[in-house]
Amino acid sequence: MKHSPDDRTSDEKVKYLKLLSRDFPNRDSASTRIINLQAILNLPKGTEHFLSDVHGEDESFFHVLKNGSGVIKTKIEKTFKGELTSSGMRKLATLVYYPEETLEYRLKNENSEEFYEINLLRLIRLTKVVTEKYTRMEIRKALPKEFVYIIEELLYEYGQADDRYYNEIIRTIIELDRAGAFIVVLAEVIQRFAVAHLHIIGDIYDRGNGAHIIMDRLESYHSLDIQWGNHDILWMAAASGSLASIASAIRISLRYGSIATLEEGYGISLRPLSIFAYEYYSGDPCPKFMPKANPANHTFTEKERDEISKMQKAIAMIQFKLEAQIVLRNPQWGMQNRAILDKVDLEKGVVEIEGVEYKLNDTNMNTLSKTEPFQLNSDEEDVMRQLQKSFMKSEKLQRHTRMLYNRGAVYACYNNNLLYHGCIPMDENGEFLPIKLDENSYRGKELLDKCDFYSRKGFFSKDAKKREFGQDIMWFLWAGKNSPLFGKEKMTTFESYFIDDKSTSVEPKNWYYEFRDEEKSCIKILSEFGLSGNARIVNGHVPVKVKKGESPIKAGGKLIVIDGGFSRAYQGVTGIAGYTLIYNSEGMALVSHGPFISTEDSIKNGTDIAVSTEVIENYKERILVKQSDVGKKLSEEIYDLKELLFMYREGIIKEK
């Protein structure tokens, strides 16, 4: 990039470079940085790991995160082929995944000195292989300060120095009782460098108990982006103070008996709701509101089931009222038909939906007013204000939500791949569907950008009206007609509870899900986002029904569906435990996962999630960092640093 002399010395340019000089105060520091960045540009591109639809299943998620969807196992096989048995490789992999737990378990029955010596050497060798794409400076930055010198000696002297020198370091580590600590650090380094960047394509939250635990881990993850799923945006809206979203988040947690995230994770007490529910539904067994079986949960007592069912019914009725208020104050969405409570006739025991009358299976709606069906009564208002305060005062929930905003968005373009959770809404002709969000209609990329814009207003805006409308848009993204995160015509929650006729509970998908199988449609979508060539779409949200012969690779390889299948509820439908994606310097591969048993079983028996890999693309030559998005940013930094060097040489900026 060339500039005229005037450009190089403009006031604005000098001002920017003076700021840069704070980090690089002289020619030596700037030159060192340039040399390091130039070296990075010529290394192979780091491994990208794509996960989706975690649904709060923390144990399964952590295992896939630790094993890198088979990346670490592949590195072990590459390093120790012909040297270790398959059992030995499994044990080494388990040590890498769960170092502290494995040490505690295995040292009960094995000679500690021999175990330490063998495994320290193996981990050093594996670390060398895993970190081959990184500069020494990058590795040094990731190491705990107290371990830097010794680990660098072990890494860079292995195979180079006299064996006596090397073995003496190992023996000294063992004698000083530091071997366990070194093993833990090496295992963490291997996990850290096996994957350069993580993509979470939506739905961290949902029916599992561990969304808050997952978010805690993601907060400290070294390189990450998130594309919001419809369940994520629901919790983000709830954290923003949206009453309808708070009600929905609580109802779903109660429906699946997964209240740990609410109560233990975020310190949100359901006591006000419980008191209210017993007051209004004390004699109601609420059979349709019993918590659904969840394998991750303990068995509920009869008393607990009764309490949960009453709370779920109470919050569901509140939800239906609050949602009706949203759709009625946003008529531009064309969702007035989702305001249902005014069409309920309790005396006749029926409800009218879209002009058709259906029999209700439950007419005990104690909080429903004939004259004001969409208004909360005073007790409901009191409960919701208490819950709203709890959501907005939860320090951890607010911190997690800010992280979702800071590291997330509706979509991302990364290394010529387009990532989004739900869909790009389309009509029956395969054209981008215009959706009237505000006074204007938007479609394609513009629609997603506008949804992102309003979602941020819903959390950050100090203007009450803008904040409320932003929260309404977030609710629309959760459950709105043809929303890009939801991707369906309607969410039939009322029907699934109160009407036995299953035809009323059908949620028709947007036309996108028909057209995404066609290559021309995917090329059209990619072009809309400025991507071409070997660009691909990576999509989540809808489980791939492998049992029925469905393939996750669609449109001639232009679109890949990676619903992670972490939720056990879907595994019976899909036939597997979902897909993840690996994209490294050598190509792209789709990884199919078997069910995860447990962390305990992995530690005791060396079991891993069974995976099978399907290569999507293999490159003749490895992709280098300079060919990636990261490389473009580094090249820009190099350019700026060279400009700073020019300023130092010319005396325009003083060195320090």
pLDDT for 598: 78
3-state DSSP call for residue 162?
coil
pLDDT band at 568 (very low <50, low <70, confident <90, very high): low
Q: Mean pLDDT lowest for which of 68-82, 409-423, 437-451, 539-553?
A: 539-553
SS3 536: strand
According to DSSP, the β-strands at 417-420 and 356-359 are: unpaired
The predicted model gives 2-18 an average pLDDT of 74
Which amino acid belongs to residue 406?
Answer: N
**How far apart, in whole angstroms, are the C-alpha atoms of residue 327 and residue 334?**
8
Cβ burial of 13 (10 Å; 0-12, 13-18, 19+) is middle
User: 379, 357, 359, 358: which is closest to 367 by C-alpha?
Assistant: 379
Dist CA 14 CA 541 (whole Å): 48
pLDDT of residue 109: 80
CA angle 125, 127, 129 (to 5 degrees): 75
Contact indicator for 622, 585 with CB cutoff of 8 Å:
yes
Q: 507-545 pLDDT, tens per residue?
A: 999 999 999 999 999 999 999 999 999 999 999 988 887
Contact at 8 Å (CB) between 49 and 198? yes
HEC profile for 419-442? EECCCCCECCCCCECCEECCCCEE
End-to-end CA gap in the chain: 28
pTM of the model: 0.93
Taking the mean position of all CA atoms in its chain, how far away is CA 229?
8
**Pairwise CA distance, residues 573 & 280, whole Å:** 37
Q: How many CA atoms lie within 13 A of 56 on its CB side?
A: 27
Specify burial of residue 185 (Cβ count, 10 A radius: 0-12, 13-18, 19+): buried
Alpha-carbon span 502 to 483, nearest angstrom? 23
Sign of CA dihedral 487, 493, 494, 500: positive
Who wins on pLDDT, 565 or 125? 125
CA dist list (Å): 162 to 114, 126, 165, 238, 485: 21, 20, 5, 61, 59
Mean pLDDT computed over every residue of the chain: 92
Alpha-carbon span 460 to 84, nearest angstrom? 55
Over residues 578-598, mean pLDDT: 87
At 1 the pLDDT is 47
Q: Has residue 155 got a pLDDT over 90?
A: no
Residue 360 scores a pLDDT above 70: yes
DSSP notation for 472-534: HHHHHHHH-TT-TTT-BS---HHHHHH---GGGG--PBPTHHHHTTSHHHHHHHHHHTT--TT
The answer on pLDDT for 571 being more than 90 is no
CA distance 47 to 50: 10
pLDDT interval class at 595 (50, 70, 90): confident
Long-range Cβ contacts of 24-31 (<8 Å, 24+ apart): 24/641, 24/644, 25/655, 25/656, 26/648, 26/655, 26/656, 27/645, 27/648, 27/649, 27/655, 30/641, 30/644, 30/645, 30/648, 31/645
Q: CA-CA distance, 191 to 93, in Å (whole number)?
A: 11
Tell me the C-alpha distance between 594 and 577, whole Å: 5
Which DSSP category does 621 fall into? S
Alpha-carbon span 75 to 122, nearest angstrom = 12
Give the integer Cα–Cα distance in Å for 300 and 303: 8
Please, which residues bridge with residue 16 across strands? none
Token pair belonging to 366: 């104690």
Binning pLDDT at 50, 70 and 90, where does residue 391 land? very high
Q: Span 554-561, mean pLDDT?
A: 95
- Give, in order, the Cα–Cα distances in Å from 290 to each of 294, 302, 308: 12, 10, 7
Q: What confidence score (pLDDT) does residue 572 get? A: 57
Q: Is 42 exposed, middle or buried (0-12, 13-18, 19+ CB in 10 A)?
A: exposed
The more confidently predicted of residues 27 and 616 is 27
Burial of 377 (0-12, 13-18, 19+ CB in 10 A): middle
Phi, psi (degrees; rounded to nearest 5) at 246? -60, -45
Residue 166: per-residue pLDDT: 80
d(CA 459, CA 443): 24
pLDDT at 183 over 80: yes
Question: How long, in residues, is the chain?
Answer: 656
Of the listed ranges 7-11, 556-560, 634-638, the one predicted with least confidence: 7-11
Domain residue spans in the chain?
Answer: 5-42+638-650, 67-194, 211-503
**Pairing between strand 611-618 and 587-593?**
antiparallel
* C-alpha separations of 510 from 124, 137, 484, 488, 551 in Å: 51, 49, 9, 5, 19
Q: Which two tokens stand for residue 216?
A: 């805690």
Given CA atoms 550, 554, 557, 559 in this order, what sign does their dihedral have?
negative
Q: What angle do CA 479, 482, 484 make, to 5 degrees?
A: 80
Q: Letter for the amino acid at 119? A: N
User: Per-residue DSSP letters for 346-365?
Assistant: TTTTEEEETTEEEE-S----
Q: Is residue 8 over pLDDT 80?
A: no
Q: What is the pLDDT of residues 83-104, one digit of tens each?
A: 999 999 999 999 999 999 999 9
What local confidence, expressed as pLDDT, does residue 575 receive? Answer: 53
